[in-house]
Structure 1
Amino acid sequence: MKNKYFPEEDIEINDLYFVCYMIERVARHIKQKNKYVVNTIGKDGLYHLLSCANVLHCENPLKVEEDWIKDYALKASDYDITAVDKEMAAIVPSPLDMGAVYQRLIRDTMSSKENYVDGIIRVYNNDICEVIDNYNCSAFYEPSYVIARAYQNGGF
């Protein structure tokens, strides 16, 4: 996928990782599901963010969070993904961890005709995210090929 602003440059897999990481950070900050953040930002916004990711990753993540919230008019809610049963889930994965999970799932399930923007929208709007984002179970800890297979098979 080519950079929107510098067509001679490719958007790299690390740019996808950064955007997935920031989607997770922003969603946690405003207490929304990742799907809400992705769908509110939209295709054009995601393409812009992927094209700027190689610069944005140098910024303070708290500033990037606030900019995304303001620029895309993201609204707060009351969904707390980190509210887990402490007996079932001793550890809540970090936004970095979950950014990696989603980046790998997008990469592992992309078709040759798909770009990163389409992959982000497709994956984050799939029902499997409800399972992956349920930290009371261990789906997010599964190896990436297991998660990709579960995605392709319609569930775990």
Structure 2
Amino acid sequence: MTDKERNDYFYVCALIEYIARKTRNHRGDIVEAMGEEGVKKLLYDAEVDHCLSFEQVSDEVIEYYKIKNGDFDTISSCKYSVPSYLDIGKLYSIMIEDCARPGDEVRELMKIFTSFISDKISDFNTDLYYQNPDYLEWSYREGKLLD
């Protein structure tokens, strides 16, 4: 993966996290609403969208893909400090780079965001986000949190 591709994946992952928080949806619901072609379009547009605010881009994505508000709110009931959407986006982009075969990054992005690990990472009342990224990656690969 080139540096530009890393930056684009980081941006798109952070944007998905931002939209999910804003609309109170599971992260997988956001990528499913956009579909593979929508994710590819966000990646294609990422270099230009970097110059715009997350608020503006998220509003455009929400409107274009008709993303409705949900009830998956992991922020307001959180008792602890919530990691930023950028921190979470970075975590996802690292997982994609580590898990995807070359040329299969978009599908891996969709698989990770729609897997069990995404909801686990989004539970900010646990310490899962702060675990070693290798632990998260291998838990994802195994389909369950490792002991």
**What is the TM-score with the length of structure 1 in the denominator?**
0.85
Identity of aligned residues (%): 30
Tell me if structure 2 keeps the 8 A contact 1:30–1:76.
yes
| Residue equivalent to 1:4 | none
**Counterparts of 2:62 and 2:78, CA distance in 1:** 29
Once the 2 structures are TM-superposed, how far is the Cα of residue 11 of structure 1 from its aligned partner?
5.8
- Tell me which amino acid in the other structure corresponds to 2:122: D
Q: Are positions 1:41 and 2:30 aligned together?
A: no
Distance 1:11 1:43, change over 3 A: farther
Tell me if structure 1 keeps the 8 A contact 2:117–2:136.
no
Unpaired runs of 5+ residues, structure 2, are none
Distance 1:57 1:85, change over 3 A: closer
Once the 2 structures are TM-superposed, how far is the Cα of residue 62 of structure 1 from its aligned partner?
0.8
- State how 1:114-129 maps to structure 2 within 5 Å: 114-129=103-118
For the residue of structure 1 that corresponds to 2:138, the secondary structure is helix
Measured on the aligned residues, the alpha-carbon RMSD in Å equals 1.8
| Residue equivalent to 1:108 | 98
Once the 2 structures are TM-superposed, how far is the Cα of residue 40 of structure 1 from its aligned partner?
0.3
- Tell me which amino acid in the other structure corresponds to 1:96: L
Q: Which has the larger radius of gyration?
A: 1
Distance 1:128 1:71, change over 3 A: same
The number of residues matched between the two structures is 145
Counterpart of 1:134 (choices 123, 127, 138) is 123
Once the 2 structures are TM-superposed, how far is the Cα of residue 132 of structure 1 from its aligned partner?
1.3
Counterpart of 1:95 (choices 81, 85, 90) is 85
Structure scoring higher RCO (CA < 8 A, sep ≥ 6) equals: 2
**Counterparts of 1:85 and 1:39, CA distance in 2:** 26
**Bigger shift: residues 122-131 or 77-86:** 77-86
Counterpart of 2:17 (choices 13, 18, 24) is 24
For the residue of structure 1 that corresponds to 2:93, the secondary structure is helix
